[in-house]
Structure 1
Amino acid sequence: MGKKEILNIIKTRKSIFCIITCLAVVLSSYIYISKTSYTVKVDGQTIGVVKDKEQVNQEIENIKKDLQKKFDKDIKLGKDITFEKIQVANEDLSPIETIKSRLYSSLEFNVNAYEVKVNGDTLLYLESKEAADTLLDTIKNTYIGNRKKEDFKEISFVEKVEVQETETNIGNIKSIEDALNLVAKGGNEIKTYKVQLGESAWTIASKLNMKVEDIAKANPEINIEKLKIDQEINLSVPKSYIHVKTVEFAQYEEKIPYETVFEETSALYSGEKKIQKPGEDGKKKVEVEVAKINGVVESKNILTEEIIQEPIKMIVLKGTKPRPITVASGDLSNPSRGKLSSRFGTRWGRSHTGIDISAPKGTEIKAADGGKVTFAGTKSGYGKIVILSHGDGFETYYAHCDSIKVKVGERVAKGQVIATVGTTGRVTGSNLHFETRKNGKPIDPLKYVSY
């Protein structure tokens, strides 16, 4: 073998050695960066990849210890944690802080708690039996106040309320304050209300402890400012999840309305009445059993009634004597033919104390009701005028007359001609100025006559 062949063999062996060395370096590097790791799963959902699964278990224990310290309860995992082997590079591993954050958001931490059930349905969870008892006692005490339980025949819940030990997510547990707010707020149901005599939206709102705005929202098609008797309106009323029934005894005095008795007498005119003997209400002591639901009276059961004072009848005399045509009937007729030309109230910047009835000069003016002539003559502004008194301070005025047919002191009958239409006094044309007055105060005549 020559020198040249020997050199070629040496070069070939060196090349093979270099290749083997490089492969060993690459293989050792690969083995270094692809050690066994673990995919972390919560109920089958991947939350990251870690090199050491014990580090994850330690983080879970740390979370449980924090919650145990905060709630003073044993904490249980509500979901399964699993680990699956995997080969990944170091840069594909999840930071432990990321794993910790995802554990907090995806794990469920359960504790032993007490659920309050209403009619078989779970309403809320509390941390202890004592907290549940405190909640239910507080709800009852809301409708007992400062009174003793012994004052009541019954204090109970309308619904079937149960307290049971169970396991639940720690986030479901409520404080007693939040639980009370939930029970009181409840849900909403639409109820109807029938408007009573004299009631308005404001009095109804005050009566039911509501806002007028809420009544308006519940009745968008109704003008709540113009409610009518017996009209039904909707009410949006909070409905408590738990209702407290109380039954108690009550005593109170109740008035007994007096009876009115009418006796006929010929000493009074027909249509006249006079109280001969005033009535007086009686009194009775009533003992009742009162049932309330959430403080609102649901029913009353009368147990005993004892009359303390008998009522005294009112005796009213009722006239039978025929009424003279000159005595007022209280029902006015139109004093003249004609057309209404001016109304009662402000006119031309001044107060117009009656109505004007336009009619031809000489048209008859008749007494609107029976009465006595208290004035027949001329007054400033009125011209020729007749004034009739109808009793009880009620008077009628007939002004701007052309002629007067009666005298002061004369009694006239309803419909009797007392004057004729004229143009005397401050007037722009022939008309009758007609007034009605009570105790000297002008009243709109159109409340009594029609034109």
Structure 2
Amino acid sequence: MKGKIRLSSFSSFIYDRWRKQQQMIKHQWKNYHKRIVTGTLAFAVSLGVSSLSMAQASAHINYFEELEKIYHIEVDDKRIGSVDNYQIVEDKMDKVLKENADQFEGKELLVGENISYTVERVFQSRVDNQQTIGELEDYLEVHVPSEYITVDGETVGHIDADKDVKEIRKSLIKDYLSDDEWEQWQERAGEALDEEEVIEDIQSGEEVLIDIELSADIESEQSSAHPDQILSIDEAKDVIINGTLEEDKYEVSEGDVLGSIASDHDLSLNELLALNDDIDEDTLLQLGDELSVTVYEPLIDVVVERIKKEEQTIRYQERTEEDDAIWQGESEVRQSGSDGEKLITSANVYENGQSVAEEIIEEEVTKEAKDRIVVHGTKTSPSRGTGDLVRPTVGGTMTSPMGPRWGRMHNGIDVAGVSNRDILAADNGVVSSAGNEGGYGNTVRINHNNGMETVYAHLSSIDVSVGQTVGQGQTIGTMGSTGRSTGVHLHFEVHENGQVKDPLNYVTY
């Protein structure tokens, strides 16, 4: 059959040798890409098997060598066209690299795509070199060598090939240490300290770095990327810290409040506010407002363990007691409170700078706290008076008796010059009035439920209320000079069966 050649077994042997010599190999495009790319030799003429002489076999081999070569060009395993001279492909790539040399001065440039070719021998070439090179140009992109960084399979990005992934680890760790801790950590070459030895030697006020761990490994492999895609060490670190999630947006609808939006998205209110710098707790949400509701999860957690010893305050407690010697409704501080102190040694774990766990190792009380004791009175009395009045002041001197004065009747006595200004109920009774009475100023009236009533005027303050039962000698207010008064004093009246009586008939001054 035309186009087929039959070879003897011996001729087949010769042909196999020729194939090895001529190769069916993969070609590497010089230094445009760092991995070997391959091509294969294909034939347009299929071969049969017959018995031919050595001379016939050689003739047929020479015949194949005289066929034209074409090169099928592939970019990342996608065929884009054919050329009859692969040198024009290399020339095109050289041109692209030279055109970008000034823009990326000082960087090693290479073609980022995986370009390969397959050789085929044909009777007549019908390739379009110009069209193929035009197609190739659309795919060509300048790259620089890089290290491709991942964390647990999650892409971080590319860093310069001259950088070491260890620099990212160091930068991550350094962010969560003080300058002194970082210096110590480097001196220790990253070795953890013995906790028991630290606990034994640590002094009050000290915090000692024990260990640092990263929750996942940072991995890298040789690669290449466009120069604009190369991250600095700090940029790569930021991607690791912040994660790579895009923020979700929530549109405010009717009835929404900040608390409910946070709860619906498994956020605390503080987390929601941190994601939205333009709002605070008092912001009034509007329908259609958009809020960020995604918390970025870091690709790596930096876990720091420290042991610290510190003095802490023991806050005093407040206790209440009852005392039947004090009138109900009155109270006094029997003992002032004072704080105590204690020394705490604790192991603390921090995750990305936030305290996540604390274990108390030792606790020593160095000063006991003293409780504050407040006593509340429970003393009560019947609402009916005894009829035997006591002085309504603590000491004092009568400054004006009952009787005519300044052209009018003075219906009581005035008392001043007291040792303290407490005003006392002259007998058991019920407060019938407590408030301002014009010329009398702040006034308290007590109905003793036995036909008697006492009046206490010009008070600076009132300590009882209408309807309150008071006992004889109970404080009902403070001496003052309210109303129509010439100075600090008490105006005291006694009424019996509706008649004004001279108070000196019941009390002595």
Structure 2 residue corresponding to 1:306, chosen from 350, 364, 372? 364
Among 14, 25, 46, the residue aligned to 2:80: 46
Contact 1:193 1:235 in 2 (8 A): no
Instruction: Say which SS state the counterpart of residue 239 (structure 1) adopts.
Output: coil
**Quick one: distance in 2 between partners of 1:139 and 1:168?**
24
Task: Select the residue among 311, 314, 323 that pairs with 1:265.
Answer: 323
Could you list the runs of 5+ residues in structure 1 that have no partner in the other structure? 1-34, 196-200, 224-232, 327-368, 380-384, 391-404, 417-439, 441-451
Match of 2:506 in 1: none
* 8 Å contact kept, 1:113–1:167: yes
Q: Contact 1:112–1:127 (CA<8 Å) still a contact in 2?
A: yes
User: Do structure 1's residue 211 and structure 2's residue 272 form an aligned pair?
Assistant: no
Cα offset, 1:321, TM superposition: 0.8
Q: Retained in 1: the 8 A contact 2:71–2:86?
A: yes
Q: CA deviation at 1:41?
A: 4.8
Report the 3-state secondary structure (helix = DSSP H, G, I; strand = E; otherwise coil) of the residue aligned with 1:71: coil
Indicate which of 232, 241, 250 corresponds to 1:184.
241
Quick one: structure 1 residues 323 and 52, their matched pair in 2 at CA, closer, same or farther if it must change by over 3 Å? Answer: farther
1:175 corresponds to which of 213, 227, 232: 232
- Give the deviation of 1:274 after TM superposition: 0.8
* 1:3-62, Cα deviation, whole Å (9 max, x unpaired): xxxxxxxxxxxxxxxxxxxxxxxxxxxxxxxx9987755344325x76653222222245
Q: Which residue of 2 aligns with 1:409?
A: 456
| Residue of 163, 173, 188 corresponding to 2:219 | 163
Match of 1:71 among 107, 127, 139: 107
1:58 aligns with 2:91: yes
Alignment of 1:24-173 (within 5 A): 40-42=73-75, 43-46=77-80, 52-63=85-96, 70-72=106-108, 78-82=114-118, 87=125, 94=130, 99=133, 102-107=135-140, 113-128=146-161, 130-149=163-182, 150=184, 151-158=208-215, 160-170=216-226, 173=230
Q: How far off is 1:306 after superposition?
A: 2.1
Q: Specify which structure has the higher proportion of strand.
A: 1
Deviations 1:228-285 (A, max 9, x none): xxxxx99642222222111112233221121333333233112322101110111112
Question: Does structure 1 conserve the Cα–Cα contact (< 8 Å) formed by 2:171 and 2:234?
Answer: no
Aligned length: 298
In structure 1, how many angstroms separate the alpha carbons of the residues matched to 2:465 and 2:171?
77
Of the three residues 333, 341, 355, the one matched with 1:283 is 341
Q: Is the 8 A contact 1:373 1:386 kept in 2?
A: no
Cα gap change, 1:260 to 1:72, in 2 (>3 Å) = same
Q: Name the CA distance, whole Å, in 2 between partners of 1:207 and 1:288.
A: 32
Structure 2 stretches lacking a partner, 5+ long: 1-67, 185-207, 249-257, 262-266, 385-429, 446-451, 469-481, 483-509
| Conservation of the 8 A alpha-carbon contact between 2:113 and 2:139 | no
Contact 2:329–2:378 at 8 Å: present in 1 too? yes
Q: Is the alpha carbon distance of 1:129 and 1:298 closer, same or farther for their aligned partners in structure 2, counting shifts above 3 Å?
A: farther
What is the identity, as a one-letter code, of the residue corresponding to 2:456?
A: G
Assess if the C-alpha contact under 8 Å between 2:73 and 2:115 holds in 1: no
Alignment of 1:241-260 (within 5 A): 241-260=299-318
* Secondary structure of residue in 2 paired with 1:124: strand
What TM-score comes out, normalization by structure 2 length? 0.46
**Quick one: which amino acid aligns to residue 181 of structure 2?**
K
User: Aligned-pair RMSD on alpha carbons?
Assistant: 5.1
- Cα separation, 2, equivalents of 1:216 and 1:50: 70
Amino acid aligned to 1:147: D
Distance in 2 of aligned mates of 1:253 and 1:216 = 38
- Judging changes above 3 Å, is the alpha-carbon distance between structure 1 residues 305 and 263 closer, same or farther for their aligned structure 2 residues? same
* 1:300-339 paired onto structure 2 within 5 Å: 300-322=358-380
Q: Distance in 1 between matches of 2:292 and 2:78?
A: 52
Q: Give TM-score scaled by structure 1 length.
A: 0.51
- Secondary structure of the equivalent of 1:240? coil
Closer/same/farther in 2, CA of residues 289 and 234 from structure 1, 3 Å limit: farther
2:298 counterpart residue number: 240
Q: Deviations over 1:100-119 (max 9, x none)?
A: 7x545424777764333322
Letter in structure 2 aligned against 1:152 = L
Secondary structure at the aligned position of 1:140 is classed as: helix
Find the residue that maps to 1:264 and give its secondary structure.
strand
Q: Provide the secondary structure at the position in 2 that maps to 1:80.
A: strand
Instruction: Name the SS of the counterpart of 2:355 in structure 1.
Output: strand
SS in 1 for 2:179: coil
Q: Which residue of 2 aligns with 1:274?
A: 332
Q: Could you tell me how far apart the structure 2 residues matched to 1:122 and 1:373 are? A: 79
Q: Distance in 2 between matches of 1:123 and 1:235?
A: 23
Label 1:212 to 1:148 Cα distance change in 2 as closer, same or farther (>3 A).
same
Q: Answer yes or no: is the 8 Å Cα contact 1:272–1:318 preserved in 2.
A: yes
